[in-house]
Amino acid sequence: MEKIKGLIAAPFTPMDKDGSVKESVIKDYYKLLKGNGVVGAFLNGSTGEGVSLSVEERKLTASLWTSEAKQDSNPLKLINLVGGTSYQQAIQLALHSKEVGIDAIAIMAPFYFKPNCAEQLADFVMKIGEAVPDMPVYFYHIPVLTGVDIPMIELIKALHGKMPNFAGVKYTHEDFMDFLSCLHFADGQYDMLWGRDENLLAALAIGAEGGVGSTFNYATPLYLKLIDDYKKGDIVSARQLQQQSIDMIRLLGKYGGIGTGKAFMKYVGIECGQFRLPIKPMTDSAYQVFVADVDALNMNAYFSKMK
């Protein structure tokens, strides 16, 4: 299984005013990501509100993105998050992903009845993965939301040699010790995709070559330059760019968290509507203040633009 190198955006799910998935936005959304240099899209994740969507809506989202990819001679790599609390539902979504042409699937830890050890979590992952034996399967590690903080090196060891289609981990956590151990395991066999945009530079320093992030949707040029400067050895510039990333990400917290990401998308020209409840929507007046704060960052050159 080929490792994915570069930036993978985690797209938002565009919503219409009535709260339904707004299908018409995906065509321009795909063009925005592709035109600005991301190499893939991680669908139906936290940013995409996968846990807030119905099974049919998650299938629709996967179908819309694959429809665009099939028209592209060099398509984005598409990873679809199918996991949740029900392995039967995840299998249904995995089979649909295979049917429509998704490149890989991802599974996260069940977050209501939680596994208490790596072996239990591995059994859950394998139960889903064996339904699509010819598809790469990633595990999505995000303990801040799932509440399952099993070290990934333990999960990888529990799966190693037992699940041939296990590809690696989308690692959205801050445990660099664990991440590095995963990178080194079995001579670097597994694909470790970094999932914290605000400390991408630190992850690059210990060996990450691919990353999945929500801010890659609207600030791709910033991170591409950060990576390029790091590779050229211009660490001072790379650090400054990472600080600009942090300053931008702090606005997410200032305006209410993950839902602010859709305000950033509106800022760069893609209207994604509002997040579903219980995420609080941004008011029109708050958006005007938000725009002033974004303008004050003085980083227009680093925001994604339609090409």
Of the residues 59, 77, 170, 262, only one is catalytic, namely 170
Residue 31 exposure: Cα atoms within 13 Å on the Cβ side: 11
Of the residues 30, 87, 140, 218, only one is catalytic, namely 140
| Burial class of residue 161, CB neighbours in 10 A (0-12, 13-18, 19+) | exposed
Sorted by where each begins, the domain ranges of the chain are 6-220
Q: Identify whether 34 is a catalytic site residue.
A: no
Contact 9, 220 (CB under 8 A): yes
Buried b (16+ CB within 10 A) or exposed e, 124-156: bbbebbebbeebbbbbbbbbeebebebbbbbbb
How many other CB atoms sit within 10 Å of the CB of residue 300? 9
Whether 138 shows a pLDDT value over 80: the answer reads: yes
| Burial class of residue 93, CB neighbours in 10 A (0-12, 13-18, 19+) | buried
CA angle 278, 18, 220 (to 5 degrees): 70
Fold of 6-220: TIM Barrel (3.20.20)
Q: Residues 33-90: pLDDT tens digits? A: 999 999 999 999 999 999 999 999 999 999 999 999 999 999 999 999 998 899 999 9
Contact 46, 259 (CB under 8 A): no
Q: Residues 178-209: pLDDT tens digits? A: 999 999 999 999 999 999 999 999 999 999 99
Residue 237 exposure: Cα atoms within 13 Å on the Cβ side: 13
| Burial class of residue 3, CB neighbours in 10 A (0-12, 13-18, 19+) | middle
Return mean pLDDT, the chain.
97
pTM for the full predicted model: 0.96
- What is the pLDDT at residue 83? 86
Q: Identify whether 157 is a catalytic site residue.
A: no
